[in-house]
Protein backbone atom coordinates (compact mmCIF):
# COMPACT_ATOMS: atom_id res chain seq x y z
CA UNK A 1 0.00 0.00 0.00
CA UNK A 2 1.52 3.39 -0.98
CA UNK A 3 2.61 5.82 1.68
CA UNK A 4 0.33 8.81 2.31
CA UNK A 5 1.11 11.99 0.43
CA UNK A 6 2.50 14.72 2.67
CA UNK A 7 2.24 18.46 2.21
CA UNK A 8 3.63 21.35 4.13
CA UNK A 9 1.92 22.93 7.15
CA UNK A 10 -1.42 24.58 6.43
CA UNK A 11 -5.11 24.04 7.11
CA UNK A 12 -5.71 21.50 9.05
CA UNK A 13 -26.87 10.19 22.44
CA UNK A 14 -27.36 9.98 18.37
CA UNK A 15 -25.42 13.10 17.68
CA UNK A 16 -24.85 12.67 13.94
CA UNK A 17 -24.39 16.34 13.32
CA UNK A 18 -21.57 17.91 11.38
CA UNK A 19 -18.71 18.89 13.68
CA UNK A 20 -16.80 22.13 13.21
CA UNK A 21 -13.59 20.84 11.68
CA UNK A 22 -10.10 22.13 12.11
CA UNK A 23 -9.79 24.45 9.12
CA UNK A 24 -7.49 27.23 8.05
CA UNK A 25 -5.43 27.51 11.19
CA UNK A 26 -5.36 30.79 13.02
CA UNK A 27 -4.14 29.10 16.22
CA UNK A 28 -0.40 28.63 16.10
CA UNK A 29 -0.64 25.03 17.32
CA UNK A 30 -2.69 24.05 14.23
CA UNK A 31 -0.43 26.07 11.94
CA UNK A 32 2.48 23.91 13.07
CA UNK A 33 0.66 20.70 12.13
CA UNK A 34 1.52 18.48 9.18
CA UNK A 35 -1.22 17.85 6.61
CA UNK A 36 -1.43 14.29 5.26
CA UNK A 37 -3.71 12.87 2.60
CA UNK A 38 -4.93 9.30 2.16
CA UNK A 39 -6.67 7.76 -0.81
CA UNK A 40 -9.95 5.89 -0.51
CA UNK A 41 -9.32 2.43 0.94
CA UNK A 42 -5.92 3.37 2.36
CA UNK A 43 -5.19 2.55 5.99
CA UNK A 44 -4.63 5.63 8.12
CA UNK A 45 -3.88 3.90 11.45
CA UNK A 46 -3.15 0.24 12.16
CA UNK A 47 -4.55 -1.41 15.28
CA UNK A 48 -1.88 -1.93 17.91
CA UNK A 49 0.45 0.69 16.46
CA UNK A 50 1.85 3.39 18.77
CA UNK A 51 0.02 6.72 18.62
CA UNK A 52 2.68 9.38 18.77
CA UNK A 53 0.67 12.10 17.02
CA UNK A 54 -2.50 14.05 17.72
CA UNK A 55 -4.52 13.44 14.53
CA UNK A 56 -7.77 15.08 13.43
CA UNK A 57 -9.78 14.52 10.23
CA UNK A 58 -10.10 17.82 8.35
CA UNK A 59 -11.69 16.38 5.19
CA UNK A 60 -13.39 13.12 4.24
CA UNK A 61 -14.52 10.17 6.34
CA UNK A 62 -13.02 6.94 7.68
CA UNK A 63 -14.27 3.73 9.24
CA UNK A 64 -13.00 1.74 12.20
CA UNK A 65 -12.36 -2.00 12.08
CA UNK A 66 -11.93 -4.23 15.13
CA UNK A 67 -10.57 -7.78 15.28
CA UNK A 68 -13.19 -9.71 17.28
CA UNK A 69 -11.53 -13.13 16.88
CA UNK A 70 -8.47 -14.54 15.10
CA UNK A 71 -9.07 -13.99 11.40
CA UNK A 72 -12.37 -12.14 11.99
CA UNK A 73 -12.44 -8.38 11.49
CA UNK A 74 -15.59 -6.27 11.77
CA UNK A 75 -16.31 -2.66 10.79
CA UNK A 76 -17.76 -0.95 13.86
CA UNK A 77 -18.18 2.79 13.22
CA UNK A 78 -17.56 5.72 10.89
CA UNK A 79 -15.86 8.99 11.82
CA UNK A 80 -15.44 12.16 9.80
CA UNK A 81 -14.89 15.93 9.73
CA UNK A 82 -13.48 17.16 13.05
CA UNK A 83 -13.06 13.75 14.67
CA UNK A 84 -9.84 13.02 16.56
CA UNK A 85 -8.28 9.63 15.80
CA UNK A 86 -4.69 9.80 17.05
CA UNK A 87 -2.95 9.67 20.41
CA UNK A 88 -4.91 10.52 23.58
CA UNK A 89 -8.15 10.16 21.59
CA UNK A 90 -11.20 7.92 22.20
CA UNK A 91 -9.58 5.43 19.78
CA UNK A 92 -6.65 4.87 22.11
CA UNK A 93 -4.28 6.70 24.41
CA UNK A 94 -0.85 5.45 23.38
CA UNK A 95 -1.74 2.51 21.11
CA UNK A 96 -4.53 2.19 18.53
CA UNK A 97 -7.48 -0.07 19.41
CA UNK A 98 -8.84 -0.06 15.83
CA UNK A 99 -7.67 -0.04 12.25
CA UNK A 100 -8.73 3.26 10.69
CA UNK A 101 -9.29 3.16 6.91
CA UNK A 102 -10.31 5.95 4.51
CA UNK A 103 -13.90 5.62 3.24
CA UNK A 104 -13.19 8.36 0.70
CA UNK A 105 -10.12 10.53 0.20
CA UNK A 106 -9.15 11.83 3.64
CA UNK A 107 -7.04 14.74 4.84
CA UNK A 108 -5.70 14.81 8.40
CA UNK A 109 -3.81 17.28 10.56
CA UNK A 110 -0.99 15.60 12.52
CA UNK A 111 0.84 17.15 15.46
CA UNK A 112 3.35 15.25 17.64
CA UNK A 113 1.92 14.71 21.11
CA UNK A 114 5.15 15.89 22.69
CA UNK A 115 4.84 19.18 20.83
CA UNK A 116 1.17 19.57 21.79
CA UNK A 117 1.82 18.80 25.45
CA UNK A 118 4.75 21.21 25.58
CA UNK A 119 2.62 24.05 24.22
CA UNK A 120 2.32 26.62 26.99
CA UNK A 121 -0.98 27.87 25.54
CA UNK A 122 -2.57 24.41 26.06
CA UNK A 123 -4.85 24.33 22.97
CA UNK A 124 -8.55 23.67 23.43
CA UNK A 125 -9.02 20.10 22.17
CA UNK A 126 -11.58 18.89 24.71
CA UNK A 127 -14.63 19.65 22.57
CA UNK A 128 -13.24 17.62 19.67
CA UNK A 129 -12.46 14.68 21.97
CA UNK A 130 -15.96 14.80 23.47
CA UNK A 131 -17.68 14.94 20.05
CA UNK A 132 -15.64 11.99 18.76
CA UNK A 133 -16.30 9.90 21.88
CA UNK A 134 -20.04 10.62 21.67
CA UNK A 135 -20.23 9.80 17.96
CA UNK A 136 -18.34 6.55 18.46
CA UNK A 137 -20.38 5.50 21.50
CA UNK A 138 -23.69 6.26 19.81
CA UNK A 139 -22.88 4.02 16.85
CA UNK A 140 -21.71 1.17 19.08
CA UNK A 141 -24.81 1.55 21.28
CA UNK A 142 -27.10 1.30 18.24
CA UNK A 143 -25.39 -1.95 17.23
CA UNK A 144 -26.28 -3.34 20.66
CA UNK A 145 -29.77 -1.88 21.15
CA UNK A 146 -31.40 -1.57 17.73
CA UNK A 147 -33.11 -4.23 15.66
CA UNK A 148 -31.69 -5.07 12.23
CA UNK A 149 -33.61 -2.40 10.33
CA UNK A 150 -32.85 0.27 12.92
CA UNK A 151 -29.15 -0.53 12.74
CA UNK A 152 -29.04 -0.45 8.94
CA UNK A 153 -31.06 2.75 8.65
CA UNK A 154 -28.98 4.51 11.30
CA UNK A 155 -25.74 3.50 9.58
CA UNK A 156 -26.94 4.85 6.23
CA UNK A 157 -28.10 8.10 7.84
CA UNK A 158 -24.70 8.35 9.55
CA UNK A 159 -22.90 7.80 6.24
CA UNK A 160 -25.11 10.43 4.60
CA UNK A 161 -24.09 12.94 7.28
CA UNK A 162 -20.43 12.00 6.90
CA UNK A 163 -20.27 12.05 3.11
CA UNK A 164 -22.92 14.41 1.72
CA UNK A 165 -21.62 17.63 0.16
CA UNK A 166 -22.83 20.96 1.47
CA UNK A 167 -26.33 21.91 0.30
CA UNK A 168 -24.95 24.51 -2.15
CA UNK A 169 -22.82 21.85 -3.85
CA UNK A 170 -25.57 19.24 -4.27
CA UNK A 171 -26.89 18.68 -7.77
CA UNK A 172 -29.63 16.21 -6.78
CA UNK A 173 -31.42 14.97 -3.66
CA UNK A 174 -29.55 11.67 -3.68
CA UNK A 175 -26.18 10.31 -2.62
CA UNK A 176 -24.29 7.32 -4.00
CA UNK A 177 -22.51 5.76 -1.02
CA UNK A 178 -18.88 4.99 -1.91
CA UNK A 179 -18.78 1.67 -0.04
CA UNK A 180 -20.14 -1.76 -0.85
CA UNK A 181 -23.32 -3.26 0.59
CA UNK A 182 -21.21 -5.79 2.49
CA UNK A 183 -19.37 -3.03 4.37
CA UNK A 184 -22.65 -1.25 5.16
CA UNK A 185 -23.92 -4.57 6.52
CA UNK A 186 -20.80 -4.97 8.67
CA UNK A 187 -21.23 -1.50 10.14
CA UNK A 188 -24.83 -2.49 10.91
CA UNK A 189 -23.93 -5.85 12.43
CA UNK A 190 -25.90 -7.68 9.72
CA UNK A 191 -25.19 -10.60 7.43
CA UNK A 192 -25.07 -10.01 3.68
CA UNK A 193 -28.46 -11.67 3.27
CA UNK A 194 -30.08 -9.54 5.99
CA UNK A 195 -28.58 -6.41 4.44
CA UNK A 196 -29.89 -7.40 1.00
CA UNK A 197 -33.41 -8.04 2.37
CA UNK A 198 -33.66 -4.73 4.24
CA UNK A 199 -32.24 -2.75 1.32
CA UNK A 200 -34.78 -4.40 -0.97
CA UNK A 201 -37.61 -3.37 1.34
CA UNK A 202 -36.36 0.23 1.53
CA UNK A 203 -35.91 0.20 -2.24
CA UNK A 204 -39.55 -0.75 -2.80
CA UNK A 205 -40.53 2.36 -0.82
CA UNK A 206 -38.21 4.50 -2.94
CA UNK A 207 -35.59 5.39 -0.31
CA UNK A 208 -32.64 3.51 -1.82
CA UNK A 209 -31.53 2.24 -5.21
CA UNK A 210 -29.18 -0.72 -5.37
CA UNK A 211 -26.99 -1.65 -8.32
CA UNK A 212 -24.73 -4.65 -7.95
CA UNK A 213 -22.92 -3.99 -4.67
CA UNK A 214 -23.59 -0.23 -4.53
CA UNK A 215 -26.28 1.73 -2.69
CA UNK A 216 -27.71 5.16 -3.56
CA UNK A 217 -29.79 7.04 -0.98
CA UNK A 218 -32.85 8.78 -2.42
CA UNK A 219 -34.43 11.73 -0.63
CA UNK A 220 -31.06 12.77 0.81
CA UNK A 221 -32.51 15.73 2.70
CA UNK A 222 -34.66 13.36 4.77
CA UNK A 223 -31.74 11.00 5.44
CA UNK A 224 -29.65 13.92 6.67
CA UNK A 225 -32.36 14.90 9.17
CA UNK A 226 -33.11 11.36 10.29
CA UNK A 227 -30.70 10.84 13.19
CA UNK A 228 -31.62 14.16 14.79
CA UNK A 229 -35.25 13.02 14.53
CA UNK A 230 -34.34 9.70 16.20
CA UNK A 231 -32.60 11.61 18.96
CA UNK A 232 -35.66 13.76 19.65
CA UNK A 233 -38.50 11.32 18.87
CA UNK A 234 -36.89 8.07 19.99
CA UNK A 235 -35.62 4.98 18.25
CA UNK A 236 -39.16 3.65 17.77
CA UNK A 237 -39.68 6.04 14.86
CA UNK A 238 -37.56 3.67 12.74
CA UNK A 239 -38.50 0.39 14.46
CA UNK A 240 -40.36 -1.07 11.46
CA UNK A 241 -40.38 -0.52 7.71
CA UNK A 242 -43.72 1.31 7.94
CA UNK A 243 -42.49 3.61 10.74
CA UNK A 244 -39.24 4.28 8.93
CA UNK A 245 -41.08 5.12 5.71
CA UNK A 246 -43.48 7.43 7.55
CA UNK A 247 -40.63 9.19 9.36
CA UNK A 248 -38.65 9.79 6.16
CA UNK A 249 -41.79 11.02 4.39
CA UNK A 250 -42.47 13.44 7.24
CA UNK A 251 -38.92 14.75 7.12
CA UNK A 252 -39.11 15.21 3.35
CA UNK A 253 -42.37 17.13 3.66
CA UNK A 254 -40.86 19.29 6.42
CA UNK A 255 -37.88 20.12 4.21
CA UNK A 256 -40.23 21.16 1.41
CA UNK A 257 -42.25 23.29 3.81
CA UNK A 258 -45.38 21.17 3.54
CA UNK A 259 -47.74 20.81 6.54
Does 71 reside within a domain? Answer: yes
Given 124, 154, 175, which residue is the final one in a domain?
A: 124
Same domain for 12 and 110, yes or no, is: yes
Does 141 reside within a domain? Answer: no
Does 18 reside within a domain? Answer: yes
Same domain for 160 and 118, yes or no, is: no
- For residue 154, give its domain range: 146-255
Same domain for 88 and 158, yes or no, is: no
Same domain for 37 and 115, yes or no, is: yes
CATH number of the domain bearing residue 215: 1.10.10.10
Q: What is the pLDDT of residue 121?
A: 61
Task: Using DSSP, state whether 113 is helix, strand or coil.
Answer: helix
Same domain for 52 and 101, yes or no, is: yes
Given 124, 159, 186, which residue is the final one in a domain?
A: 124
Which pTM value belongs to this model?
A: 0.79
Q: What is the pLDDT of residue 205?
A: 97
Q: What is the pLDDT of residue 113?
A: 87
> Among residues 81, 94, 89, 1, which one has the least CA distance to residue 44?
1
Question: What is the domain count for the chain?
Answer: 2
Which residues in the chain come in under a pLDDT of 50?
Answer: 1-2, 5-15, 23-26
Does 191 reside within a domain? Answer: yes
> Among residues 213, 216, 186, 221, which one has the least CA distance to residue 203?
216
177 DSSP β-pair partners: 215
> Among residues 241, 255, 229, which one has the least CA distance to residue 205?
241
215 φ/ψ angles, rounded to the nearest 5 degrees: -130, 130
**Rounded distance, CA 31 to CA 126, Å?**
18
Q: What is the pLDDT of residue 62?
A: 94
Does 102 reside within a domain? Answer: yes
Q: What is the pLDDT of residue 230?
A: 93
Residues 103/60, Cβ–Cβ less than 8 Å = yes
b/e string for 98-136 if b means 16 or more Cβ within 10 A? bbbbbbbebbbbbbbbeebeeeeeeeebeebeebbebbb
Q: What is the pLDDT of residue 185?
A: 92
Amino acid sequence: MPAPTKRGPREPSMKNRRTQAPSAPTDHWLANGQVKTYRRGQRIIEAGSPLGDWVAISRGAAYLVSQVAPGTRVAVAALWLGDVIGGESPLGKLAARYDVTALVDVTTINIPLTQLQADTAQPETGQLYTATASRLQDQISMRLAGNGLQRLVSVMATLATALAPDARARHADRLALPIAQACIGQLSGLSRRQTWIYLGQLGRHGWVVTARSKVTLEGLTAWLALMQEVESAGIECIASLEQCDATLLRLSARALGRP
